Homo-oligomer: A and B are copies of this chain.
Amino acid sequence: MASSLQPLATSLSPQERFQEYLQAKGLRQTEQRKFLIDEVFNQHEHFDADELIERLPRRGSPNYVSSATVYRTLREFVDAGLLKSFQLEGRTVYEHDYGYPQHDHLYCTRCQELFEFTSDELIALRDRVAADQGFRVTGHRLIIQGICQKCSQTRRKKRKQDLV
Contacts and interface: CB of A to CB of B under 8 A. Distances in A.
Contact of A139 (B115, B133, B145): B145
Which range contains the number of A residues in contact with the other chain?
Answer: 35 or more
Contact of A109 (B115, B138, B148): B138
A147 B136 contact: yes
Interface of A: 87-90, 92, 106, 108-109, 115, 117, 119, 121-122, 125-126, 129-130, 132-149, 152
A86 B12 CA distance: 37
Number of copies: 2
17 contacts: A87-B90, A109-B138, A117-B133, A122-B122, A130-B144, A130-B146, A133-B149, A134-B148, A135-B144, A135-B147, A135-B148, A135-B149, A137-B144, A138-B145, A138-B146, A139-B144, A139-B145
A107 to B, nearest CB: 9
A145 B126 CA distance: 10
Contacts of A152: 134, 136
